[in-house]
Amino acid sequence: MGCFSPNSSKKDVDEKSKKPEPSRIQKDDKAQLDLQVQIRRAKDYHQRLEMRAAAFRTEALKWKQNGNKSKAVFSLKMKKLTEKGLEKIDGVVLTLETTLQQLHEARMDADVYSALKKGNEAIKELQSSASLGDFEKIYDDMQERQKANEEITAIMGSDAAEDAAYEDELNNLDKLEVEAKLPSPPTSKVKAKKEKAPAKVAAAKTAADNGEKAKERVAVAA
């Protein structure tokens, strides 16, 4: 059997009985709700007083018509007293409305302050994560990268004259490649053909001359 400790049992009961403290937002919401309830009740009471004041006025006119002056005056006094209550309720409603507006403004200010605080902490954390040397190194790397990009752009984006020069160079490369693929003719056959060609021309010329001379002799003889 385990041992039972009355102190520990009491401690557990106390911890269970403790309720978590409401947050600021919950408190603000409750205060806002209470103010709105009070404003609604005050306006309802104000409406009832207006109805009572109207009733006393009607009653005063009735007593006057009936010739009962004392009761007519009494009704007017009750009407005036009710109207004073209306003025007091108007002041209460104004106070409640002002408090509610101030609560809204205070909550807005608190939210703005909280946002500014968190933003300031985030900025400090970011600034602490990078030193000035890190920023300088990143800046130098960016400058080098930009310079390399400008050089690539200058090469790839050349003008028309440079493009024409590149095209001529490509055409020359194509011609050289075609000539390199063609077979080379034998040197001895080329020379023999060159030597035979003048001899054939000379023989043809001699034959033509002899034919002309023969024609001339035939003409003379005739």
- pLDDT single digits (tens) 151-190: 777 766 655 556 667 667 777 766 766 666 666 665 555 5
2 phi and psi angles, rounded to 5 deg: -80, 155
Helices and strands (H, E) in the chain, number of each type = 6, 0
Instruction: Please state whether the predicted TM-score (pTM) of the whole model is above 0.85.
Output: no
Instruction: Quickly state the pLDDT bin for 3 (edges 50, 70, 90).
Output: very low
Radius of gyration, alpha carbons of the chain: 60
| Residue 108 Cα distances to 25, 36, 143, 197, 205, angstroms | 12, 18, 45, 112, 120
24-33, 41-50, 153-162: least confident range: 153-162
As a whole-number percent, the residues of the chain with pLDDT over 70 amount to 58
Query: Band of the pLDDT at 44, cuts 50, 70, 90?
Result: very high
pLDDT at 67 over 90: no
Query: 102 pLDDT exceeds 80?
Result: yes
Note the pLDDT tens digit of each residue in 129-148. 766 677 778 878 888 888 88
At 196 the pLDDT is 52
Q: How confident is the model at residue 27 (pLDDT cuts 50, 70, 90)?
A: confident
- State residue 41's pLDDT score: 93
pLDDT of residue 214: 59
Once rounded to an integer, what is the mean pLDDT over residues 193-217? 59
The pLDDT of 107-126, averaged and rounded, is 86
The pLDDT of residue 2 is 47
The backbone region for 67, taken as left when phi is positive above 0, alpha when psi lies in -120 to 50, beta otherwise, is left
Q: Where are the domains of the chain?
A: 21-129, 131-182, 192-222
Mean pLDDT of the chain: 75
CA-to-CA dists, residue 8 to 15, 60, 171, angstroms = 11, 75, 99
